Amino acid sequence: MLFSLLAAVQAQSLFNADGLFYQCNPSTIFAPNTTEQVQAVIQQAIANGTTVKAYAAGHSRNNVMCTDGVTLLTTNLNQLISVDKEKQTVTVGGGMKLLDFSNAILEYGFIMPGVPDYGGITVAGAIGTGAHGSSLKHSSSTHDYLVAAKIVTGTGDIVDIDETDLDFPAVRVNLGALGILTEVTMKVLPVQKIKTQNIEIDFNNATLNLPEIIAQYDFAGCYYFPYNKRAVLTTSNFVDASTPGNGHKTSWDMPPVPLAVQAWAIPKVLDTVNGLLSEDEVCPLANLRADQLKSGETSEAVGNFGPMYMGNLFHDIANVVNVELNIPISKLADAYQDIIKIVNDVKTCFPIYGIYTRFATPGKTFMGPNAISEPIAHLEIHILNSFNIPYLGFAAIAEIRQLLNEKYNAEPHYGKNWGSDFTQLNTKLGNRADLFAKAVQRFDPNGLFTNKFLQNLQSNAARLDTKQCAFTQDCYCEVDSDCSAGYSCVQGHIFTPARVCRKSFGTFCERGDECASNRCVLYHCI
Ligand SMILES: Cc1cc2nc3c(=O)[nH]c(=O)nc-3n(C[C@H](O)[C@H](O)[C@H](O)COP(=O)(O)OP(=O)(O)OC[C@H]3O[C@@H](n4cnc5c(N)ncnc54)[C@H](O)[C@@H]3O)c2cc1C
Ligand SMILES: *[C@@H]1O[C@H](CO)[C@@H](O)[C@H](O)[C@H]1NC(C)=O
Ligand SMILES: *[C@@H]1O[C@H](CO)[C@@H](O)[C@H](O)[C@H]1NC(C)=O
Ligand SMILES: *[C@@H]1O[C@H](CO)[C@@H](O)[C@H](O)[C@H]1NC(C)=O
């Protein structure tokens, strides 16, 4: 019974937790239709002495798009403005959604393969945080395709900027800090279709040669299940535009369960899994997820790039936490070996969704993990969060985060991570942070677009000192009171510099790793 319920959770739980984690609380909301109307709002805000922030689809999982001042919705800045067939560029309103963008340019015989897995976010929103897909053959981040933009700056000026400007890399992955991008011009490519196939590969190969394997495909990512010793690739190759097939991605399609039921049931089921099942009883779920992935996620093998690569979201309901940490590709094999040790230590089949590993080639940006000179690996963990108690693998995930941040110098995803993943980031980025700050100073000298997210970044100390901050993900624990009641702040088992919240072994438990036996059933160690 529990397992059949959980199968439904699996189908939905990658959805955005919009509103569950970061709800922005602006004082005023405007939804301008034109660049001139954006300028009028900015001029008023300057006169009023309030801050402004662009809010697009609001699908970032942190507060990068929030302000206490004026929220400027980009919903109406969603027109196709011009197509330059010769230069192969397309200019659209910054608020156009990526799936709409893909469909619009298809009519002109173009594609833009720098997209994430989900098409409900906007072109400028994706650019803002460095959203990406996965490829070692092609640029796969949206910002890599940005070649020009129209920006309303913090002084209320309308500025056209293109790749010839030395500050242009700051416009790519701009964190909303430079101004409002009312128009963006994207480099596009002549149309091709893609043929997709999901395949399971040898786990040891994935550990050692994954980049080599990924590089054989036009687009590929890997769901890596360290405890289950499985690795499933999602692959796509370009095929000629005349190839028959009109497939679309199905993994985000509406399941046949009423929304009200899902909204009630999912948190219940998640708390139940976290509290009642032992970790080995959760292992079948991770296997089920791998099997689902292997059986494919598209309605047909061949289709147009946009609908094949990007799903369309029906609703934001499930409570999912995302962590994405990005490292140089040359460090991936070592990082995997360390992660395997941590996972084996707690004998936990987590993450149930695997470690979603994607790749990117270098791009010309200051912020954003593909700013470095070698290709990078994006390591992402989707966590099924529960509402009342720490989620499955809680301590181990905290240990993995600190391992990647501290030993592998990881850079976080600017639209997904939160709290401690941003600590000391300025120091890590070095010159890149300085170049970005210089561009921000030029476009927004008075800090009109600053917000808590940017202030945390600048202060280099993103620890938010709330009670039980390690439970709410805002810090890594330093003292016991950073953890939830009954937990102590102790060092990591494998990566010992890490500080994680654990319950000491006893009779009562919420998860297996709190028991000497590693088995927790009905809140009792058995
Ligand atoms: C279901 C789901 C799947 C996802 N899949 C992926 C994935 O596969 N890969 C990936 O990398 N990410 C993924 N993400 C994360 C997502 O790509 C980012 O959070 C993205 O930035 C959200 O875009 P948005 O349009 O909602 O922008 P928002 O979250 O509203 O804003 C993001 C930032 O951009 C700024 N901004 C937005 N529009 C403008 C503008 N016109 N001018 C100036 N600044 C602007 C905002 O101020 C803010 O700083 C996913 C998110 C969800 C919910
Ligand atoms: C924007 O356009 C919509 C629809 O045409 C209209 O209702 C709205 O008043 C316009 N907003 C502004 C600020 O002009
Ligand atoms: C500026 O203040 C005026 C008067 O309080 C208010 O009507 C207007 O909405 C404000 N505009 C912005 C952009 O803050
Ligand atoms: C492992 O990788 C090598 C080299 O990339 C490849 O030749 C071999 O077929 C792979 N084996 C499996 C089982 O995938």
- Kindly state if the Cβ of 96 falls inside 6 Å of ligand 3: no
Element (H, E) at 499: strand 499-502
- Residue with more model confidence, 196 or 9: 196
Count Cβ atoms below 10 Å from residue 237 Cβ, excluding itself: 16
The tally of domains found in the chain comes to 4
Residues 21 and 95 in one domain: no
- Do 421 and 359 lie in one domain? The reply is yes
Q: Are residues 52 and 181 in the same domain?
A: no
Distance CA 451, CA 63 (A): 9
The residue-averaged pLDDT of 432-461 equals 93
Mean pLDDT of 348-366: 89
- Per-residue pLDDT reduced to its tens digit, 199-232: 999 999 999 999 999 999 999 999 999 988 999 9
Q: Within this chain, do residues 400 and 345 fall inside the same structural domain, yes or no?
A: yes
Peptide bond into 244 cis (omega under 30): no
CA 65 – CA 145 distance, rounded (Å): 22
Q: What is the mean pLDDT of the chain?
A: 86
Q: State yes or no: pLDDT of 107 exceeds 90.
A: yes
User: Do the domain assignments include residue 447?
Assistant: no
The answer on 409 and 502 residing in a single domain is no
454 in a structural domain:
no
The reply to whether 101 and 222 lie within a common domain is: no
Ligand 1 centroid, distance to 348 Cα (angstroms): 31
Of the three residues 169, 191, 213, the one that is the final residue of a domain is: 191
Alpha carbon distance 7, 394 (integer Å): 22
Q: Based on the domain organization, do 69 and 141 belong to the same domain?
A: no
- How far is 107 from 256, CA to CA, in rounded Å? 32
Of the residues 164, 191, 218, the one at which a domain ends: 191
pLDDT tens track for 251-262: 767 665 555 555
Q: Say which CATH number the domain at 9 has.
A: 3.30.43.10
Give the percent of the chain with pLDDT over 70. Answer: 84
Q: Assess whether 165 and 223 both reside in one domain.
A: no
Cβ proximity of 394 and 468 under 8 Å? no
> Average pLDDT for residues 24-29, to the nearest whole number?
88
Q: Which residues in 44-190 belong to E strands, given as ranges?
A: 52-55, 70-73, 80-84, 89-93, 110-111, 146-153, 158-162, 179-187, 189-190
**Cβ pair 294, 200 in contact under 8 A:** yes
Q: What number does the ligand 2 atom closest to the CA of 31 have? A: 13
Asked if 319 and 20 touch (Cβ cutoff 8 Å), the reply is yes
Residue 440, in any domain of the structure = no
300 and 409 co-located in one domain: yes
pLDDT at 211: 97
Residue 49 lies in a domain: yes
| Backbone torsion region of residue 49, taken as left when φ is above 0, otherwise alpha when ψ lies between -120 and 50, otherwise beta | left
Both 265 and 295 in one domain: the answer is: yes
pLDDT tens per residue across span 498-519: 999 887 777 777 666 777 777 7
Nearest ligand 3 atom to the CA of 41 is 13
CA distances from 489 to 39, 275, 500 (A): 50, 20, 5
The Å distance, Cα 37 to ligand 2 centre, comes to: 10
Structure tokens at 62: 């942190």
Q: Which helix (H) or strand (E) is 293 found in, with range?
A: helix 279-294
Give mean pLDDT, residues 271-284.
63
- Asked whether residue 40 is domain-assigned, the answer is yes
pLDDT greater at residue 158 or residue 516: 158
Average pLDDT, integer, range 466-484: 81
Residue 24 pLDDT greater than 60, yes or no: yes
Q: Is residue 436 part of a domain?
A: no
Contact of 391 with 385, CB cutoff 8 Å: yes
Q: Are residues 182 and 197 in the same domain?
A: no
Stretch among 80-89, 178-187, 254-263, 275-284 having the lowest mean pLDDT: 254-263
- Closest ligand 1 atom to residue 151 Cα is 42
Protein residue closest via CA to atom 1 of ligand 4: 205
Asked if 396 and 293 sit in the same domain, the reply is yes
Q: What pLDDT sits at residue 131?
A: 98
- For residue 167, the number of C-alpha atoms closer than 13 Å in the C-beta half-sphere is 19
Residue 320 lies in a domain: yes
Which CATH number goes with the domain that contains 154? 3.30.465.10
How many angstroms separate the most distant Cα atoms in the chain? 71
pLDDT in tens, 33-72: 999 999 999 999 999 999 999 999 888 888 899 999 999 9
Task: Please give the order of strands across the beta sheet that includes 89-93.
Answer: 80-84, 89-93, 179-187, 146-153, 158-162
Residue 436: which region, alpha, beta or left (left: phi > 0; alpha: psi -120 to 50)? alpha
Distance, CA of 20 to CA of 16 (rounded, Å): 9
Domain hosting 171: range is 80-191
Which residue from 30, 37, 42, 76 has its CB within 8 A of the most atoms of ligand 2, so it is best to mutate? 76
Domain boundary among 366, 394, 428: 428
Q: Which of 438, 439, 397, 441 shows the shortest CA–CA distance to 417?
A: 397
pTM: 0.92
In a domain, 461, yes or no: no
37 lines ligand 3 (CB under 6 A): no
